[in-house]
Amino acid sequence: MEGDLFSIISRGAKFDKRRFGKDIALFKPQSSSTQNYDYEVEKQEKKDNDDIKPRGKRKRITQDSIDIDSSIRLLQEIDFFQNSRQALKSVLIGLCDDNDNKDHEKDKKKTKIQTDLKAKEEQKQESKIGASVNSFKNQEEVQTFRKKHRIRVYGTDIPYPFRSFQDLVTQYEIKPYLQKNLQNAGYSLPTPIQIQCIPVSLHERDLMGLAPTGSGKTLAYLLPILHDLKGPEKMGYRALIISPTRELAQQIYREIKKLSIGKKFKICMLTKASAATIAQTPQLRQKFDILISTPLRLVHAISKENIELKNVRHLVLDEADKLLELGFLEQTDEIINACSNPRIVKSLYSATLPSGVESLANTIMKDPIRVVVGVKNAATETIKQKLLFVGQEEGKLIAIRQLIQQGFKPPVLIFVQSIERAKELFHELIYDGISVDVIHSERTKAQRDSIVLNFMQGKIWVLIATELMARGMDFKGVNLVVNYDFPQSVQSYIHRIGRTGRAGRNGEAVTYFTKDDAPFLKSVVNVMKESGCEVPDWMLTLKPPPQNSKKQVRQKPIDRHKISTVSKYDLEKIKRKREIIEASKKRKATTASDIQSTEKNKRNKSKNNNSTNIKDQEDNSYGTSDAEKPKTKNVKSKLDIK
Ligand SMILES: Nc1ncnc2c1ncn2[C@@H]1O[C@H](COP(=O)(O)OP(=O)(O)OP(=O)(O)O)[C@@H](O)[C@H]1O
């Protein structure tokens, strides 16, 4: 083997070997310590080469005593740019060219080696991107398939999509229990977001998944988690799902329970009660595999050192843009910091992602893949959207009563901008002879749970809601969404109306607007147009509102008149009467015993303050003040918060 490398690189040239003896010696195999290193390299390369060469048909192919294996090894040593495969191929071709005149047997061997090298390289590439050779023949086919499903992908080494849940079994060995649960849930074919995002997550890549409302994003992140966790293990939380509202967290909990039937995963939905149990029973903490929580509840538990997230391998931010908005941002950041496992895989999902938030999201992910289904920041195409001018505020009540009188198809969801207005509208509609209820953060948790259930079961026909219900809630059968109050942002509009037209069903959405809302109309008009709805020409010529007024409205909604059929004069009269009663009550309350009880109440109130704050934030998606936030460890920010 001596001088092999020299033989290879000097082929075709003549050298005075005596004169250049010293130089040639440089190419001879080294001894002592480097030899050990060489031995290791050689061992590895031998393994590689064993794979490359056809079994049992190895050894010499040239008369020059050039052994292919040693050539490969030596060539790899001089492969400074790590192009060994390419270099190998070309040199091997060169080698063989040199021996053109040699016997036919050698040529056959050469061709075989080349073919094997090529196949190995292709195989390596395929396994890197996780495609099954059976499923897609080539990249072109993949692209056509993505195009058909309106999937756009951004990033490097993007895994191939899959065609059917059966493909997941053959390609990724999805366990039979998962397969069975998919069938039982009636999921016969994957939705576009699932088609592309499931393989990305199965390849443990950070991901940003954007797809319209009701398109199956939940399954897209739950399935890879369940597959990867394999089964229950008592090593603490290995997957964490964050949702902006308690109701959505509960829905995710129900979905994961449904999908994990047959495996005894321990799933914890962090509530006030479960947090207290965990605090009192530290040994419980190790038992759980999956944790679902709202941000503030979790931050509170972390700060009390009741929850450890160091083993979390999967972190999902559902409704990611909301969680990265002011009000949630700092808590989300603290949670991300607490997930200290270096091998963590992060997945962010939403139907909307403003570009500013997207750049922020990129700072917390490693080499992420972005998957966009359909048009970014547009509404689902199965929703028929309408805008209705109602003149003044009072016009809305007339319009909603007309809608009820004309006959409507329940269930209907009506969105208003505040708790106060939700209560007001409820008091108006309760006497209209329809089954109506109202949901907002001031209702007890038990009330909220039963309302959600009753609405899902069709027992409530009309549900009046605040922004609390706008995101993620999967009320499959909702036929109509009414935006009684104009939404405060285009994202809010998309999510609100997305409570209808889910999972391929048809739905309708009507948005009332007054003179005051007119400047903000253009953003909604754009969404309507993007989603294929008819929009009057004059609306298309509207000017978009200035950026700062958009921002103002996002932070604080437009002031509106009280929702009431009572005239303004009568309302004033009632108000004055109420003030007189209040003043007289106050006077009576100045006795010593009252003062004492007030003090006692105050003390109790301050005790419960933390938990009350948590409740408030779960419902109020427009944030909390610094004073309300629980104290947490002073951790370095992972997010690039500017
Ligand atoms: N492959 C599938 N086949 C049929 N139905 C599905 C499939 N995947 C999910 N679904 C159903 O589609 C509905 C919407 O799913 P999901 O709640 O995950 O939507 P989403 O994209 O998260 O919506 P949102 O943006 O509003 O949160 C659910 O009722 C779910 O059961």
* Model confidence pLDDT, tens digit, residues 5-37: 555 555 555 555 666 566 555 555 444 333 333
User: Which atom belonging to ligand 1 lies closest to the Cα atom of 187?
Assistant: 3
CA of 619 to the centre of ligand 1 (A): 23
CA of 503 to the centre of ligand 1 (A): 6
User: Which atom belonging to ligand 1 lies closest to the Cα atom of 248?
Assistant: 27
Q: Please report the pLDDT score of residue 433 as a whole number.
A: 86
Neighbours of 61 (CB within 10 A): 22
Q: pLDDT tens-digit profile of 471-498?
A: 999 997 999 999 999 999 999 999 999 9
Does pLDDT of 98 surpass 70? no
Q: Which two tokens stand for residue 383?
A: 């929703």
Helix (H) or strand (E) holding 285: none
Region 410-429: mean pLDDT is 96
Does pLDDT of 150 surpass 70? yes
pLDDT level of residue 638 (50, 70, 90 thresholds):
low
Question: Among 554, 628, 551, which Cα is nearest to 295's?
Answer: 628
Q: Please report the pLDDT score of residue 66 as a whole number.
A: 38
Show the CA angle centred on residue 448, arms to residues 627 and 456, nearest 5°: 140
Instruction: Check residue 342 and report its DSSP letter.
Output: T
**Residue from 164, 179, 187 whose mutation best tests the ligand 1 pocket (most atoms within 8 A of CB):** 187
Helix (H) or strand (E) holding 146: helix 139-148
Determine the Cα–Cα distance for residues 110 and 90; give it in Å rounded to an integer: 12
- Determine the number of helices (DSSP H) and then strands (DSSP E) in the chain: 27, 14
Q: Please report the pLDDT score of residue 553 as a whole number.
A: 77
The answer for residues whose C-beta is within 8 angstroms of residue 10's C-beta and 6 or more apart is none
CA-proximal residue: ligand 1, atom 22 (nearest): 217
Does pLDDT of 97 surpass 90? no
More confident residue, 128 or 289: 289
More confident residue, 88 or 292: 292
Determine the Cα–Cα distance for residues 268 and 312; give it in Å rounded to an integer: 14
CA of 373 to the centre of ligand 1 (A): 14
R_g over Cα of the chain: 33
3-state SS track over 587-605 = HHCCCHHHHHHHHHHHHHH
Determine the Cα–Cα distance for residues 378 and 527; give it in Å rounded to an integer: 5
Which range among 40-44, 57-61, 275-279, 445-449 shows the weakest confidence by mean pLDDT? 57-61
Does pLDDT of 72 surpass 70? no
Q: Please report the pLDDT score of residue 19 as a whole number.
A: 60
What share of the chain in percent tops pLDDT 90? Answer: 58
More confident residue, 435 or 44: 435
CA of 426 to the centre of ligand 1 (A): 30
Region 136-163: mean pLDDT is 96
Q: Please report the pLDDT score of residue 538 as a whole number.
A: 87
More confident residue, 242 or 128: 242
CA of 161 to the centre of ligand 1 (A): 18
Q: Please report the pLDDT score of residue 70 as a whole number.
A: 44
**Residue from 473, 502, 505 whose mutation best tests the ligand 1 pocket (most atoms within 8 A of CB):** 502
Asked whether the beta carbons of 539 and 387 are under 8 A apart, the reply is yes
CA-proximal residue: ligand 1, atom 14 (nearest): 214
CA-proximal residue: ligand 1, atom 30 (nearest): 216
Region 624-628: mean pLDDT is 29
CA-proximal residue: ligand 1, atom 27 (nearest): 472
More confident residue, 507 or 41: 507
Region 112-123: mean pLDDT is 67
Determine the Cα–Cα distance for residues 511 and 481; give it in Å rounded to an integer: 8
CA-proximal residue: ligand 1, atom 2 (nearest): 187
Q: pLDDT tens-digit profile of 563-593?
A: 887 766 666 777 788 888 888 888 888 766 6
Q: Please report the pLDDT score of residue 146 as a whole number.
A: 97
CA of 129 to the centre of ligand 1 (A): 26
Q: pLDDT tens-digit profile of 153-170?
A: 999 999 999 999 999 999
Q: Please report the pLDDT score of residue 250 as a whole number.
A: 96
CA of 62 to the centre of ligand 1 (A): 63
CA-proximal residue: ligand 1, atom 1 (nearest): 190
Cα 23 versus chain centre, distance: 60
Q: Please report the pLDDT score of residue 459 as a whole number.
A: 95
CA-proximal residue: ligand 1, atom 20 (nearest): 214
Q: Is the peptide bond prior to 411 cis by the omega test (within 30 degrees of 0)?
A: yes
Determine the Cα–Cα distance for residues 252 and 598; give it in Å rounded to an integer: 41
Q: pLDDT tens-digit profile of 284-295?
A: 889 999 999 999
Angle between helices 217-229 and 176-184 in degrees, nearest 10 = 160
Does pLDDT of 86 surpass 50? no
User: Which atom belonging to ligand 1 lies closest to the Cα atom of 218?
Assistant: 18
Asked whether the beta carbons of 152 and 369 are under 8 A apart, the reply is no
Q: pLDDT tens-digit profile of 340-359?
A: 999 999 999 999 999 889 99
Q: Please report the pLDDT score of residue 630 as a whole number.
A: 35
Q: Please report the pLDDT score of residue 270 as a whole number.
A: 97
pLDDT level of residue 596 (50, 70, 90 thresholds):
confident
pLDDT level of residue 542 (50, 70, 90 thresholds):
confident
CA-proximal residue: ligand 1, atom 3 (nearest): 187
Q: Residues lining ligand 1, judged by CB closer than 6 Å?
A: 187, 189-191, 194, 211, 213-219, 351, 472, 474, 476, 498, 502-503
Region 621-625: mean pLDDT is 33
Does pLDDT of 552 surpass 60? yes
Which range among 76-90, 409-423, 424-438 shows the weakest confidence by mean pLDDT? 76-90
Question: Is residue 388 exposed (0-12), middle (13-18) or buried (19+ Cβ within 10 Å)?
Answer: middle
Q: Which two tokens stand for residue 561?
A: 């008149």
3-state SS track over 517-561 = HHHHHHHHHHHHHHCCCCCCHHHHCCCCCCHHHHHHHHHCCCCCC
Q: Please report the pLDDT score of residue 588 as a whole number.
A: 82
Region 199-220: mean pLDDT is 97
Task: Report CA dihedral (138, 140, 144, 149) to the nearest 10 degrees.
Answer: 60
More confident residue, 539 or 297: 297
Q: pLDDT tens-digit profile of 435-465?
A: 999 999 999 999 999 999 999 999 999 999 9
Q: Please report the pLDDT score of residue 82 as a whole number.
A: 36
The ipTM, to two decimals, is 0.99
